[in-house]
Chain A
Amino acid sequence: MSTQLLTYLFVGASFALYIGIAIWSRAGSTKDFYVAGGGVNPVVNGMATAADWMSAASFISMAGIISFMGRDGSVYLLGWTGGYVLLALLLAPYLRKFGRFTVPDFIGERYYSKTARIVAVICLIFVSFTYVAGQMRGVGIVFSRFLEVDVETGVIIGMAVVFMYAVLGGMKGITYTQVAQYCVLIFAYMVPAIFISIMITGNPIPQLGFGAEVADGSGISVLEKLDTVLIDLGFGAYTEGSKSTIDVFAITAALMFGTAGLPHVLVRFFTVPKVSDARKSAGYALAFIAILYTTAPAVASFARLNLVDTVHNTSYEQAPQWFSNWENTGLVEWQDKNNDAVMQYSAGIDNEVTIDRDIIVLANPEIADLPGWVIALVAAGGVAAALSTAAGLLLVISSSVSHDLLKQTLMPAITEKQELLFARIAAAVAVCIAGLFGIYPPAFVAQVVAFAFGLAAASLFPTIVMGIFSKRINKQGAIAGMLSGLIFTFFYILYFKFVSPQLNNAEHWWLGISPEGIGFIGMLLNIGVAFVVSHLSPPPPAEVQDLVDGIRIPSGAAVAHSH
């Protein structure tokens, strides 16, 4: 069977599975739609959270980014996993005990303020749409390379599938499809990783092969060889960094605190039956995530080494098959500058080979000479990663519109049935907007990713944590804190990414912190302002202090009410 046919088969079968699950798990109430009825097993929820979290960026781009950044790529590995520790220790159990539907719900009630709720809704919608645009783009890329359909057609098919299970099933449908998507994506990631690890080092476990010797009898390790080879070609050593320590620190912190403040991840912990389950569930989620996140840096090093070996100083005539396959998509390019018909790869101006970082994962099966079904599997895995994250994001957007904006603020008189209908309409509208982003990607998609994490770190995360761990932070403090964190971070990123991109370098950054890391400073500012303003104004009312007391005690979550 041809690879093309296999790919259609794999992607088609996975879509049929997702739609089947959607029909089986329709949502009957707002509680089903927002939090899957609140009865999800912690292991199942952990797996769904892992799929929710691991996006097209984790699946397709992360190994490639690390491959070309070397040690500096650790910011993503540490940042995108360390946040789960904060989530499990400081947020998830308390939000579960609080027992409502959305993140703005918590902020609105704890700070007894509609304004606080609306500020939270704005942060949430901005963060989620930024993120979802990237997912739809990922679906488009996978479709155009593997299925050879237009990006537009790919995005529309993807939208139709998400529409089916997000609009019909809400959180309930999303949870069970995400479990299936996790299985597809992790299998699709590990199979080629194991094969390439065997090919380079002879060790089938990528995490161990990463530190092992290259299987060419030379007796030097993968990382030593990579360092030597890259220095020869004029690059920096793979195991040494080029970013300043303060910037690496700030970026890692912004990504960690941002991860812990991302609404589509937080809301997953509203779905388990009780407080102790929320903690365990975060542990399972990170364990499932860690399988991919500890494999990615190994794949990154193998692929970079293999790339240099097979491409550098190879005559174009003898270029490997994958090279010409991917040349058609424009993701690899060769320009014969010195007219010797041989490809030279280096860091200098005489470099002739341009390689897009997404190649590292997408072309891995071909680079490692794996059979057609593995290539088909990677296509299905990439689509699963993008769709699962997109669905989670669309759900938090729709629930914050129907629940926080309509039911809790603008139209308190609507019935549950009407609220559920509005939730479905909001989800449908959000799917369409996300699709438009995918078809007509705004040129700034790559630039705004810093926004999503920076704003989540500067606004949502500290406000929720202070609401749990302090009883003194009041309405005035929380609103002032959120707004100052938000505005500071927003304008810093806006200035360096859009207003004066030519100044976007370490020389001009404040304290040497790049726009990617500024969310960390925004968070500190938020906390400082909230603390000062709260102490200059009256403490929160007694019933809010009682609410905080109640949240801190694990027992009694079952009686938490839905309104």
Chain B
Amino acid sequence: MSQQPYRHAAENPSPHDHNDKKNITEKNATDYWRANLRLLATLLVVWFTVSFGCGILLVDWLDQFTFFGFKLGFWFAQQGAIYVFVALIFIYAWRIQIIERQFGVDDDAEEESL
């Protein structure tokens, strides 16, 4: 996937306003996107591992272990993966907001939820 620099007519990036929230610099936008892609890659590896990994590909092998009365592979396929999915979304929402603030691209100042 190609990485083109962020340009916008209204913004004339100067090297001294990196932390100015109103002016998103080209560099901040690119760095933010890189950090976002890294976070996404990590979370999607977990997503794949618990569902396709533990619930499908490794299910028979994991079934030799017992977990709260379940065969472990069966538990992942019918319970565990779903709990991890919910956690993943909230972890993403939380982590990405920290990254956004760091690069000054957050939407904190925008209209609050009604």
Cβ distance B82 to chain A, nearest Cβ, rounded Å: 5
Interface 9-mer from A150-158, A269-277, A310-318: A269-277
Contact B88 A85 (CB under 8 A): yes
Interface centre among B1, B6, B55, B113 (most CB of A within 10 A): B113
CA distance A283 to B94 in the complex (A): 11
CA distance A258 to B71 in the complex (A): 29
Contact A286 B85 (CB under 8 A): yes
CA distance A274 to B108 in the complex (A): 9
Cβ distance A550 to chain B, nearest Cβ, rounded Å: 8
B110: which of A248, A471, A545, A558 is its contact (CB, 8 Å)?
Answer: A558
CA distance A66 to B74 in the complex (A): 13
Q: Tell me, yes or no, whether A469 is within 8 Å of chain B by CB.
A: yes
Which residues of chain A come closer than 8 Å to B14, judged between CB atoms?
A: none
Number of A-B pairs whose CB atoms are under 8 Å? Answer: 173
Contact A71 B77 (CB under 8 A): yes
Contact B82 A85 (CB under 8 A): no
Contact B85 A290 (CB under 8 A): yes
Contact B7 A549 (CB under 8 A): yes
Cβ distance A512 to chain B, nearest Cβ, rounded Å: 14
Q: Tell me, yes or no, whether A555 is within 8 Å of chain B by CB.
A: yes
Knowing A77-B82, A249-B52, the reply to whether A223 touches B69 (Cβ < 8 A) is yes
Cβ distance B78 to chain A, nearest Cβ, rounded Å: 4
Which residues of chain A come closer than 8 Å to B57, judged between CB atoms?
A: 245, 249
User: Which size class do B's interface residues fall under?
Assistant: 35 or more
**In the complex, which residue of chain A has the Cβ closest to the Cβ of B71?**
A239
CA distance A297 to B63 in the complex (A): 17
Interface string of B76-112 (1 = CB under 8 A from A): 0111011101101110110011001000011111111
Which residues of chain B come closer than 8 Å to A557, judged between CB atoms?
A: 107, 110
Contact A276 B97 (CB under 8 A): yes
A74: which of B1, B78, B108, B113 is its contact (CB, 8 Å)?
Answer: B78
Contact B56 A249 (CB under 8 A): yes
Contact A82 B51 (CB under 8 A): yes
Contact B107 A274 (CB under 8 A): yes
**In the complex, which residue of chain A has the Cβ closest to the Cβ of B87?**
A283
Q: Tell me, yes or no, whether A78 is within 8 Å of chain B by CB.
A: yes
Which residues of chain B come closer than 8 Å to A221, judged between CB atoms?
A: 69
| Interface class of chain B by DSSP | helix
Contact B90 A283 (CB under 8 A): yes
Which residues of chain B come closer than 8 Å to A556, judged between CB atoms?
A: 107, 110
Knowing A249-B56, A274-B111, A283-B86, the reply to whether A546 touches B105 (Cβ < 8 A) is no
Contact A213 B69 (CB under 8 A): yes
Cβ distance A256 to chain B, nearest Cβ, rounded Å: 8
Knowing A77-B82, A85-B88, A207-B79, the reply to whether A273 touches B93 (Cβ < 8 A) is no
Which residues of chain B come closer than 8 Å to A90, judged between CB atoms?
A: 40
CA distance A73 to B88 in the complex (A): 23
Within 8 A of B (CB), among A230-277: 239, 241, 245, 248-249, 252-253, 256, 272-277
Q: Hey, which bits of chain B sit against chain A, CB under 8 A?
A: 1-2, 4, 6-8, 21, 24, 29, 32-33, 36, 40, 43-44, 47, 51-52, 55-57, 59, 63, 67-71, 74-75, 77-79, 81-83, 85-86, 88-90, 92-93, 96-97, 100, 105-114
Beyond A283-B89, A294-B82, A554-B106, 4 additional contacts (C-beta under 8 Å) are A85-B44, A89-B88, A239-B71, A557-B107
Contacts A/B (CB < 8 Å), 16 sampled: A78-B55, A85-B43, A86-B47, A89-B40, A212-B69, A223-B70, A273-B110, A274-B111, A290-B85, A294-B82, A472-B2, A552-B36, A553-B24, A555-B21, A555-B24, A557-B110
